[in-house]
Amino acid sequence: MRELSIYIHIPFCVRKCLYCDFLSFPVSEERDAGKIESYVNLLKREIEEQAVRYRDHRVISVFWGGGTPSLLKTEAIAGIMETLYGSYHMAADAEITIEANPGTVTPDRMQGYITAGINRISIGLQSADDEELARIGRIHDYRMFLETYGLARAAGFRNINIDLMAALPGQSVASYRNTLERAAALEPEHISAYSLILEEGTHLYERQEDYRFPTEEEDRQMYLLTEAYLSSRGYHRYEISNYALDGYECRHNKVYWQRGDYVGFGLGAASMAGNVRWSNPADFGAYEAYIAGMRHGDVRTVCHEERQEYKEETGSFQEQQILTKKEQMEEFMFLGLRLMCGVSRTEFAAQFGWQIEDVYGDVLSRLYRQELLVRASDRIRLTARGIDVSNYVMAEFLLDP
- According to DSSP, residue 353 is labeled S
Are residues 332 and 259 in contact, defined by beta-carbon separation less than 8 angstroms? yes
Site for ligand SF4 contains 102 (CB under 6 A): no
Q: Whole-number minimum distance, CB 188 to ligand SF4, in Å?
A: 18
Note whether 13 binds ligand SF4 by CB under 6 A.
Answer: yes
Whichever of 10 and 359 has its CB closer to ligand SF4, that residue is: 10
Is residue 140 exposed (0-12), middle (13-18) or buried (19+ Cβ within 10 Å)? buried
Question: Does position 22 bind ligand SF4 by CB under 6 A?
Answer: yes
What DSSP string runs through 218-257?
HHHHHHHHHHHHHHHTTPEEEETTEEE-TT---HHHHHHH
Residues near 80 by Cβ (< 8 Å), separated by ≥ 6?
Answer: 8, 40, 43, 44, 47
CB of 7 to ligand SF4, least distance (A): 14
Residue (17 or 80) nearer to ligand SF4, CB: 17
Q: Which is nearer to ligand SF4, 31 or 369 (CB)?
A: 31
Angstrom distance (rounded) from CA 192 to CA 139: 20
Residue 71 in contact with residue 29, Cβ under 8 Å? yes
Minimum separation from the CB atom of position 137 to ligand SF4 (A) = 7
Other Cβ atoms less than 10 A from the Cβ of 141: the count is: 17
Q: Of the listed pieces 11-19, 85-93, 170-178, 245-253, which binds ligand SF4 according to CB under 6 A?
A: 11-19
205 binds ligand SF4 (CB under 6 A): no
- Cβ 13 to ligand SF4 shortest distance, Å: 3
Distances 319 to 102, 301, 302, 316, 353 between C-alpha atoms, Å: 34, 9, 11, 10, 29
Compute CA distances 206 → 80, 139, 199, 201, whole Å: 38, 20, 9, 7
By rule CB under 6 A, what count of residues binds ligand SF4? 10
User: Whose Cβ is closer to ligand SF4: residue 48's or residue 141's?
Assistant: 141
Residues of span 298-357 touching ligand SF4 by CB under 6 A:
none
Of these, 9, 10, 24, 160, which contacts ligand SF4 (CB under 6 A)? 24
Say if residue 67 is preceded by a cis peptide, omega within 30 of 0: yes
> Residue 149 or 348: which CB sits closer to ligand SF4?
149
Between 26 and 107, name the residue whose CB sits nearer to ligand SF4.
26
Torsion sign, CA atoms 70, 71, 76, 80: negative
Which of residues 16 and 236 has its CB atom nearest to ligand SF4 in the complex?
A: 16
Q: What are phi and psi of 208, to 5 degrees?
A: -60, -25
Least gap, CB of 24 to ligand SF4 (angstroms): 4
DSSP string, 116-169: HT--EEEEEEE-S-HHHHHHTT-S--HHHHHHHHHHHHHHT---EEEEEEES-T
Q: Which residues pair with 63 in a beta bridge?
A: 7, 97
Nearer to ligand SF4, 12 or 238 (CB): 12
**Using rule CB under 6 A, residue 171 touches ligand SF4:** no
Pick 192 or 320: Cβ nearer ligand SF4: 192
Which is it for strands 160-166 and 190-195: parallel, antiparallel or unpaired?
parallel
Residue of the chain from 4, 10, 20, 333 that contacts ligand SF4 (CB under 6 A): 20
Q: What is the smallest separation between the CB atom of 66 and ligand SF4, expressed in angstroms?
A: 5
Candidate residues 6, 17, 343, 380; the one interacting with ligand SF4 per rule CB under 6 A: 17
> Quick check: 16 binds ligand SF4 (CB under 6 A)?
yes
SS3 280: coil
State the binding string over 40-79 for ligand SF4 (x if CB under 6 A, else -). Answer: --------------------------xxx-----------
101 lies in the site for ligand SF4, by CB under 6 A: yes
| Among the residue ranges 17-25, 28-36, 203-211, 325-333, the one whose residues contact ligand SF4 (CB under 6 A) | 17-25
Contact set with ligand SF4 (CB under 6 A) = 13, 16-17, 20, 22, 24, 66-68, 101
